[in-house]
Amino acid sequence: MLHLKGLGKTYKTGDVALSDVTLEVPKGQIMGLIGPSGAGKSTLIRCINRLVEPTAGAVMLGDVDLASLGKRELRRQRRRIGMIFQEYALVERLTVMENVLSGRLGYVPFWRSFLRRYPPQDIQNAYRLLDRVGLMEHADKRADALSGGQRQRVGIARALAQEPELLLVDEPTASLDPKTSRQIMRLLTEICAERGLPAIVNIHDVPLAQQFMQRIVGLRAGRVVFDGPPEDLTEAALTEIYGAEDWHAMRAGDAEQAEAEAEARARMEALA
């Protein structure tokens, strides 16, 4: 489905963010991308829909090389790729429904989007998606009136409104609490499974990645250093990705978080 061939990105400052990344993501696969901050995770997924311009290699989506497209054709191809962002990136002052419908922008002419006169089937589909993510009654609220988890659900609905063939997900849980993070990840994996949708998920939380991903790719300094199923992600592999110290520090943080969660759960049970 998606095939990256020798993808590379060197910023104008001379920093090399990606070098020679070759990956294949088949249909229906959910792939987690892990690595320390600055490893190029964000750059990698942005090179796929060219929010960041790659400087080398090819991005094949089906038979189309996205890296070589002109502006107009790129816009048409971007419709095929849904993207979900860290910190949601909703347009805060628009309503939930407008945000979901903005997923259709690549399909409708300017006058329709300007007058908010979307085709009936788009509207119907948007309502269906809002129902799927459980926000039916919030359709006409402004996006900034929602909680973090709800906003990320709107973000998911917006990406799905594009009827994408591929999902790019950038740190979907970075600003959510652990419980909401799991709910969002579960929703994402369910939806991908329902639609046979392949997804690339940038994720900094290794246990979360191991729990939900079918395949994990580890990135370090712009290169792929691990590629395999979550079970293969051993201590040694993680040390390779993160470097010894970082990995232990991170695990300590996770242990703390797990403790805190366990305590919170115990308290809730005591109340019930």
Q: Give me the residues that bind other proteins (CB under 8 A), please.
A: 49, 51, 75-79, 81, 83, 85, 87, 89-95, 97-98, 102-107, 110, 113-114, 116, 118, 120-121, 123-128, 131, 139, 155, 158, 162, 168
Query: Please, which residue, 34 or 83, has the CB nearer to other proteins?
Result: 83
Query: Please, which residue, 76 or 265, has the CB nearer to other proteins?
Result: 76
List the Cα angle 199/202/205 in 5-degree steps.
125
- Alpha-carbon gap, residue 114 to 116, rounded angstroms: 5
Give yes or no for a contact between 67 and 57, defined as CB atoms under 8 angstroms apart: yes
Least distance (Å) between residue 62 CB and other proteins? 16
- Alpha-carbon gap, residue 243 to 252, rounded angstroms: 15
Least distance (Å) between residue 200 CB and other proteins? 13
Least distance (Å) between residue 117 CB and other proteins? 9
Least distance (Å) between residue 241 CB and other proteins? 27
- Alpha-carbon gap, residue 26 to 198, rounded angstroms: 7
In the chain, DSSP finds a helix count (H) and a strand count (E) of 10, 10
* Nearest residue to 149 (alpha-carbon basis) of 135, 132, 170: 135
Least distance (Å) between residue 120 CB and other proteins? 4
Q: At what angle do helices 235-242 and 244-271 cross, to 10 degrees?
A: 120
Query: Please, which residue, 32 or 155, has the CB nearer to other proteins?
Result: 155
Query: Please, which residue, 113 or 211, has the CB nearer to other proteins?
Result: 113
Give yes or no for a contact between 222 and 10, defined as CB atoms under 8 angstroms apart: no
Query: Please, which residue, 1 or 89, has the CB nearer to other proteins?
Result: 89
